[in-house]
Structure formats: structure tokens, C-alpha cells
Structure 1
Amino acid sequence: MEKSKVYFTNLRATANMNLLQKLDKLVRKAGIEGIDFKEKFVAIKIHFGEPGNLAYLRPNYSKVIVDLIKEQGGKPFLTDCNTLYVGRRKNALEHLDAAYENGYNPFTTGCQLIIGDGLKGTDEAFVPVENGEYVKEAKIGQAIMDADIFISMNHFKGHEATGFGGALKNIGMGCGSRAGKMEMHCSGKPVASKRKCVSCKACMKICAHDAISFNENIKAVIDHNKCVGCGRCLGSCNFDAIHNPEFGANDALNKKIAEYSYAVLNGRPHFHISLVIDVSPYCDCHAENDLPIIPDVGMFASFDPVALDMACADAANKQPVIHGSCLAEKHHHTHDHFINTHPETNWEVCIDHSVKLGIGKKEYELIEI
């Protein structure tokens, strides 16, 4: 079986070739120009970073890809979807404010920023998942599904629930609407907080299944016999009074991420870039970043997101542990830095399930540029 090609460049730079020029050279060598971009809408999925976190990718990197796509006649936009958790990126207005605060705007990136699932995280496309074990119909941000071509730019780092966050995590979880994220993270249905509910009744108005009523204290109550778990009530509540307390097992989460990735990628051209730099132990959704657990490695690119994640994980696991990091303080049960950082996770579940779905291959040929 032919191996997938993954292209790599290290982070050494000279006066004649800086890191941005190296990224441009890398993706061209990896074949990105083989995609027909002319007059096509191109979604570039990136994480804008939760304010307070400084490990997210600098906007300078995204401009390299934006400029290349525009050079090829494409119409690129940077995108991410709203978060399930309460933070600075739970609706489009705050999300864009956070992105601007972190340096992402049309002037620094050369293109517009669009929040994929709209103002309140309810603007979603329902995408069938063939042979899905957990997900039959993924809920993906509408703007992302409206794009003709999909590009992922990934900050490769540790993650407390999935082991690491790379291409598949950025695609599957990142492109899910708020309801989609609830479906991936949780196994139950949402509940309403009587303490936070202000009796505005916005949730009741948006519920299509008459599952929400108000008790004698005029506080929202969700009837789980009627609730279908669509998550629209989460998006409608401006007071964070609705949440889902039943978080699922990490292996199930990883499989759902693979199935959502399939929904995003199936049937259209796609290309993937990962930067293994500032490898923090936790997701960029944290409002802080800890000391990196390993030294910076380099930049990777491929048409195959599965092979890309494998190559990044293999390269990361060859690195020494940084003294003083949280990983250095842990007992090392394996030779895998990400499992040692988060022993309750197994990132290979997502990889293996993605292979089963036909997204890509684990076997790769690493080509250094």
C-alpha cells in the first residue's frame, strides 16, 4: 500500500529564508498549488486562541496561506466555530473581539474572519456520516460547509481529553456547531440552572419539541422525554443558564471527532498544515498556557490529516521533555509524551477510527524540505 506523503521543514532560518518564507515553500512543495482555487471560496480553519493564552498560532502564519490562495485566484476566509464552554468565544461578537485582541483581523491576515456557526452557534448544516458508529448526522458550522475548499491550520499541542490536539481535533471538534460540540463531548441532554435562569424564555421560544417549560418560580425546566439534544437552547441563552453535565468517555469523544472530521472533509478538496511549536500541555481554549512540554519541532503539511497527525506525534515523541514542565513532574508510564501528560487519554483511538472511516492512512513517507 502506498504511503501518504507528509512534508516537513525545521525551524532554522537565515537572512535569505525566514520562517514565513519556509512555510510558503513547504506548502508549495507539498502540492497545495495542485488544488483549483480559482473563484472558489476557501475556508481556512484555525483556532484564534482564548485571550490570556499565548501559545496559539500567530496570524502571520495564516497570511502566508491567504496570500498564496489569493495568488491562485481563490477567495479565502479564516474561520472557527463558537465554543460549548463559557468563555470569550461562545458567540460571534465576543469571538471576533477575542480574535482581534489576539491579532487576527483583515489587515494582519489579508482576508475576512467568519464565525462558522453564526451569532449564537446555531447556524449549522446537518451532514450525513456514512458508517458512523456514534454520529449519523453531524452538526457543522454552515459557513464551513458552504466553502468549496477546506484548509486546516493547526497548532499541535497536548489536550486533556484527546491526548493531543492536531489536524483531526481542529477539524472535527473545531468545525462543530455548539450543538455539535455538545454531541461530541456529552452523552446526555442539557439541563437548566435555576440559579442562573432570568426567566427571559428565549430557550422555550426556540425549542421545536416543546421540551422546555417554566415552573412556579418562573425558572426553566427541560423535559428529557421530549428533548432531542439538538442544543439550540444553549445558543439561545445569553446568561449561560443551560449546560450539559454528562460528559462522555474520552475514547467515545475521539471517535466522534473522527466522524465529524469525515463530515467536514468528505466530497471536497482539502489540505492540512500543522505547526509543532509552543507545545503546551493543554488546549488553546484555556485562558492560560503552561510551559511547553517539549522543544519546538517544525512545520508539517499534507493532503492526509491522519498521516499528518501521526507524523507530528512521532516527531514530538522523539523530543526530550523540557525541564520544569508539567510533563517533567509526572511519572512516565510509556514512551508517549501525550499519554504521560494525560494518562486517561489515548489519542490513537481517533487515528484508528479515522482510518476505518477512510479519511486517511497511518503509514506515511516524511519528506524534508
Structure 2
Amino acid sequence: PFLTDTNTLYLGGRSNAVEHIETAILHGFDYAVAGAPLIIADGLNGKNIHKVTINRKHFSEVSIAGDIAAADSMIVLSHFKGHIAAGFGGALKNLAMGCAPPEGKRAQHNARPFTIADNCTGCASCMKVCPKDAIRVVAKKSVIDQELCIGCFECLHACPEHAIDIDWETEIPQFMERMAEYAYGAVKEKEGKVGYMNFLIRITPDCDCFPFSDAPIVPDIGILASTDPVAIDAAGFDLVNQQQGYADSLLASHHHPGGDKFKGVHAQTDGYRQIRYAEEIGMGTRNYELVRI
């Protein structure tokens, strides 16, 4: 067995295999600790790619990291949490982004145009994180070159004034569908050979790719295991929403049991869309039975 990950689309310590492995070791993912080697599945610079034919609405084929495609089987470990564009991140998002090289991550995001509001202060926070140098500051206001923009959302994450926006009603549902199709491609050649574990522990409002964490939005729930990525995410989604939300977190609304906690953080995003679409394209079923062990 081996541990694996893929290189990121955004800049930072996981954008190439050398720095990625160094980062992993610093966080305890060392052979001496884990008892298994770490392989960055898409190679040194994300060029180890395997094409998988899927013939779905958005993609006829998808790019999957070569060493993930070559593996006989896979256990997918996912931290369940909120996400600004996907609503939440679980097994489906982990498959889609975690198994894709930067080329595949770019194809999934591809959301634009991003717009800059008048409250932009020209602080250049967005410019510093843009992986394609598509942003510059002109007359104390950021300007996005839409031709260079790859729709990675990094600028939207970074803006302290929340001055960057996108058409949430059209672009984000399509992003979730593209993500589900990549998840489908990641496991298409491994039928019956993939298991999933979702960790509903320290359920934070935003993605783990952020360079910081925040207070959980609900109490810890536990760990789910399944062979169905749709069912495990549906169960996780329901379990989170059954909780009483923490008032002293970023949860702005829907605190009551039964309220959509992820909409309580990111009101513009319907995270359940990724689950529905994954079921539509044959990845699994939203029906599940919880067996406590």
C-alpha cells in the first residue's frame, strides 16, 4: 500500500512533488509514522496523466493522475467540511480534485467571469495568490484578465473585502457537475475496488486548502465508511444538518437541527447538487442505511 495525493492548481507547498513530499513529512505523513510510502500520483510537475473516457454531459474524457489510475484498488479518506463553491467537501470532491492533476483541476473549475466590486481597495491579496498572473492592480483597484483567468477561485478566497464575485446561479451548479463527472472518471476503472471513509470530525466552514482553519460549525459526529461515494456523502450531509449548529462559529443561519448548515455558511451554494448529479450519472445512490458499530 501507499499514501497518495496530487499536485495543486494553486500556488504553495503542494504544487510540485518535491515540496509536496516535504510538506507531507512536516505534517506527519512520513514512512516511519504511517508505515507506507507517499507517492505524488501525478508526478513531479503534474504531467503523469491517464485519460479516462466517460462520455458525460461536460466531459467525454477526464484526466486522472497516472499512479492513481495504475493502482489496483483505493481507500478514499475524506475530511467532511464546508466549501465556498461546492457547498461541502466529502468523498465526491476528494475523488474529483484529489485524483486529478492540475490539468484536471483546471478543467473542473473553469468558472468565470469573476468580477471586481467598487469596494476593492487594491490591496493585491488576490494578485499574490493568482497562479496564472491574471490579476493586476490599476489605479488602486484589481483588474482580472479574463483570458488568463482559469476560474480557480483563489482570488475569491483571498479577498479580505469580499469584493470578488461570480454568477453563482449558473457557474456553480456547472462546477459541481464537472466535479461529479471527474469523480466518476476517477473510479470508473476500479469498479468494486474502492472504499470510502468520511471523517465527520472538526467540521469546519471552509476547505482544508485554506492556509488556516476556523471553529467547527457543529459538534463532532464520527466516522462513516461505505463502498458508495454518493451514499456516504448523502449520509454525512444529513448527519451534519441534524446537529444543533454552534452560535459562535461562522454559521450565520440554519443553526437549528434540520437546517442546511452548509447554506448557513455559504448561502449562495446548494451543496446537495453534487450528490444529486453524481447519482444521476450512475456513481451510486442517495439511499443509505446507517449501521452503528
Relative to the length of structure 2, the TM-score reads: 0.79
Which of 59, 79, 83 is residue 135 of structure 1 equivalent to?
Answer: 59
Tell me the equivalent position of 1:267: 189
Change (3 A) 1:246 1:85: closer
Question: Following superposition of structure 1 onto structure 2, how do residues 142-157 of structure 1 map, counting pairs within 5 Å?
Answer: 142-157=66-81
Tell me the equivalent position of 1:186: 110
Once structures 1 and 2 are overlaid, which stretch shifts more, 243-252 or 264-273? 243-252
| CA shift for structure 1 position 332 | 3.6
Question: Following superposition of structure 1 onto structure 2, how do residues 41-56 of structure 1 map, counting pairs within 5 Å?
Answer: none
User: What is the root-mean-square deviation in Å for CA atoms of aligned residues?
Assistant: 2.4
Larger radius of gyration: 1
Which of 224, 240, 243 is residue 319 of structure 1 equivalent to?
Answer: 243
Which of 89, 93, 96 is residue 14 of structure 2 equivalent to?
Answer: 89
* Contact map agreement 1:125 1:141 (CA 8 A) in 2: yes
* Secondary structure, counterpart of 1:138 in structure 2: strand
Gaps of 5+ in 2: 114-129, 137-146, 154-165
Find out whether 1:119 has 2:25 as its counterpart.
no
Partners in 2 of 1:364 and 1:139 — Cα distance? Answer: 30
Which of 162, 165, 174 is residue 252 of structure 1 equivalent to?
Answer: 174
Partners in 2 of 1:108 and 1:246 — Cα distance? Answer: 33
* Secondary structure, counterpart of 1:173 in structure 2: helix
Change (3 A) 1:319 1:90: same
Runs of 4+ in 1 over 3 A off after TM superposition: 187-196, 245-248, 331-334
| CA shift for structure 1 position 104 | 0.6
Letter paired with 1:171: L
Partners in 2 of 1:286 and 1:367 — Cα distance? Answer: 33
Find out whether 1:108 has 2:33 as its counterpart.
yes
Which of 339, 342, 346 is residue 263 of structure 2 equivalent to?
Answer: 339
Change (3 A) 1:78 1:136: same
Tell me the equivalent position of 1:284: 208
* Contact map agreement 2:5 2:41 (CA 8 A) in 1: yes
Q: Percent identity, aligned pairs only?
A: 38
Tell me the equivalent position of 2:141: none
Count matched residues: 248
Partners in 2 of 1:173 and 1:246 — Cα distance? Answer: 12
Tell me the equivalent position of 1:12: none
Task: With a CA cutoff of 8 Å and minimum separation of 6, indicate the structure with the bigger relative contact order.
Answer: 1
| CA shift for structure 1 position 148 | 0.7
Partners in 1 of 2:76 and 2:99 — Cα distance? Answer: 10
Partners in 1 of 2:90 and 2:214 — Cα distance? Answer: 18
* Contact map agreement 1:82 1:92 (CA 8 A) in 2: yes
* Secondary structure, counterpart of 2:203 in structure 1: coil
Tell me the equivalent position of 1:46: none
* Contact map agreement 2:11 2:131 (CA 8 A) in 1: no
* Secondary structure, counterpart of 2:245 in structure 1: coil
Change (3 A) 1:251 1:194: closer
| CA shift for structure 1 position 94 | 1.1
Letter paired with 1:119: L
* Contact map agreement 2:10 2:152 (CA 8 A) in 1: no
Gaps of 5+ in 1: 1-75, 197-223, 225-241
Change (3 A) 1:318 1:246: closer
Change (3 A) 1:366 1:193: closer
* Contact map agreement 1:162 1:345 (CA 8 A) in 2: yes
| CA shift for structure 1 position 123 | 1.4
* Secondary structure, counterpart of 2:284 in structure 1: coil
* Contact map agreement 2:203 2:216 (CA 8 A) in 1: yes
| CA shift for structure 1 position 87 | 1.6
Partners in 2 of 1:195 and 1:163 — Cα distance? Answer: 26
Letter paired with 2:209: C
Partners in 2 of 1:158 and 1:79 — Cα distance? Answer: 23
